[in-house]
């Protein structure tokens, strides 16, 4: 489908600008792939929604092709752990996606100090994330941008995957050639850092492993300042990969560029045993497998002993309804900046 056809398809699904204000904007809660995201309430029902703006500047064809892809994808997805697209709307020449409103995102809610998450709560978040990913991958969708600010949580403790701006549909029996300039750097798997362009849903599973560690440590674990340092930060925890464990390693385009001068030992279990249980460590290690071919799938991960044998069982953090305010990455950044100013 070319740009003109996409624009026409988009226009066909968009209602006329409303004669009265259907939604009242209550505040700015973040930034999506295409523009700002606002909290709003529906004037008749009072239902809270997120209005996700789609920027049109500089779009010769009208509606951005990637935004159209996100709209079509979200329209086809229905799962408890995937955010819902209610409708499309045009107001004063701006196009909005009207999406289910979620009170918090994972980046924000992990930084707040009011509500204490138990290991059972964190296990629930982990299981909900993997359940959403298992559904996407079953539907043939790679998310390609799993990170804390794209994982939303409501006051009932329900977790939903959001922001499908980089998502792609893939052929299940055949890996396609894509760009490796996807997935926010701290959550990007080693094969993409080493230049791979042929990949599938296993790239999301590495990101899920990063999120699993972040749930317990409360901060992103692999924080590199650039791509070169990023791979070294991973080496520091996971050790250097061997050819036995990852036979395709040396054929990756940037392997020579990132090759360490000497082997680095794996410190993963030693480094994270104070945060994760034994079965939790096993699952995180399988999610963070160097070799994408042996990395655990979302469906397999849901069957792991961590969820099905080891105590405590997962418990949805329903007590979050008592949490004051709303926590998104924006608020947690503001709080951090405020604390820094006080400390300075």
The residues assigned a catalytic role are 145
The tokens for 85 are: 């697209």
What is the Cα gyration radius of the chain?
21
94-100 and 141-142 as β-strands: parallel, antiparallel, unpaired? unpaired
Instruction: For residue 246, count other CB atoms closer than 10 A to its CB.
Output: 18
Residues in the chain: 344
3-class SS at 105?
A: strand
Say how far apart CA 110 and CA 105 lie, in whole Å: 9
Q: Is the dihedral of CA 276, 277, 279, 282 positive or negative?
A: positive
Say how far apart CA 106 and CA 118 lie, in whole Å: 15
Q: Which residues in 98-107 are b (16+ Cβ under 10 Å) and which e?
A: bbbbbbbbbb
Question: What separation in angstroms does the CA of 252 have from each of 171, 215, 233, 240?
Answer: 22, 31, 19, 15
């Amino acid at each position: 489908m070319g740009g003109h056809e996409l624009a026409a398809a988009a226009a066909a699904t968009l209602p006329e600008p409303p004669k009265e204000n259907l939604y009242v904007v209550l505040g700015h809660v973040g930034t999506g792939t295409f523009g700002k995201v606002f909290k709003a309430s529906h004037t008749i029902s009072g239902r809270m929604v997120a209005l996700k703006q789609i920027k049109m500047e500089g779009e010769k064809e009208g509606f951005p092709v990637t935004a159209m892809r996100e709209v079509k994808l979200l329209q086809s997805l229905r799962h408890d752990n995937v955010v819902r697209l209610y409708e499309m709307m045009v107001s004063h020449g701006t196009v909005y996606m009207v999406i289910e409103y979620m009170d918090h995102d994972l980046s924000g809610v992990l930084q707040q100090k009011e509500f204490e998450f138990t290991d059972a709560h964190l296990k629930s978040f982990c299981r909900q994330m993997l359940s959403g990913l298992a559904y996407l991958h079953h539907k043939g969708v790679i998310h390609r941008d799993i990170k804390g600010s794209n994982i939303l949580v409501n006051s009932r403790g329900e977790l939903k995957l959001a922001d499908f701006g980089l998502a792609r549909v893939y052929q299940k029996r055949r890996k396609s050639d894509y760009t490796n300039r996807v997935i926010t750097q701290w959550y990007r798997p080693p094969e993409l850092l080493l230049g791979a362009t042929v990949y599938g849903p296993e790239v999301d599973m590495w990101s899920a492993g990063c999120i699993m560690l972040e749930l317990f440590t409360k901060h992103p674990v692999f924080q590199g300042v650039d791509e070169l340092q990023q791979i070294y930060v991973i080496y520091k925890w996971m050790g250097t990969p061997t050819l036995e464990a990852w036979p395709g390693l040396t054929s990756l385009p940037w392997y020579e560029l990132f090759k360490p001068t000497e082997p680095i030992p794996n410190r993963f279990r030693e480094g994270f045993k104070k945060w994760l249980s034994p079965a939790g460590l096993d699952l995180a290690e399988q999610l963070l497998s160097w070799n994408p071919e042996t990395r655990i799938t979302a469906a397999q991960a849901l069957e792991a002993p961590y969820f099905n044998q080891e105590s405590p069982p997962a418990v949805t953090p329903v007590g979050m309804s008592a949490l004051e305010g709303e926590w998104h990455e924006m608020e947690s950044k503001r709080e951090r900046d405020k604390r820094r100013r006080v400390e300075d």
